[in-house]
Amino acid sequence: MISLSEDLYASYPRHIGRGAALKAIEKALKKVPYGRLSAALQAYCRKVEAERTEDQFIPHPATWFNQERYDDDMTPHPRAQAQLDKPRCPECDWPLDAFGCCCIHGKIKAKTF
């Protein structure tokens, strides 16, 4: 059976420093209910995806939990959210322009609306 700490660690978008991360998560769970931490972590994962954050800019999980970043604003930047809502190229995941073309491949993609 997976523990609450391990579940939160598995959901975090970057897996590094597992031991320190689990200690930090246990510490956070003493202050904040699991449901609130889980919801904040899900929102953070959506933000990372929407903003296409590179791994080097995602803090280690121990840092994120120790610094109580689960209390930060997790709203993606509006431009990032707009990009996320656009249709994407199935080959490279870049947004398609108004003509259904992705700049990377220079090919016309079939529009799907």
pLDDT in tens, 45-100: 989 988 888 999 999 999 999 999 999 998 887 777 666 667 777 777 667 776 67
Q: Average the pLDDT over 1-26 and give the result.
A: 94
| Segment 10-17 long-range contacts (CB within 8 Å, at least 24 positions apart) | 11/38, 11/41, 11/42, 11/45, 12/41, 12/45, 12/61, 12/64, 13/44, 13/45, 13/48, 13/53, 13/58, 14/55, 14/58, 14/59, 14/60, 14/61, 15/61, 16/60, 16/61, 17/60, 17/61, 17/62
% pLDDT > 90, the chain: 56
pLDDT for 111 beyond 70: no
| Predicted local distance difference test score (pLDDT) of residue 10 | 96
| Predicted local distance difference test score (pLDDT) of residue 68 | 97
Could you tell me the pTM of the whole model?
A: 0.70
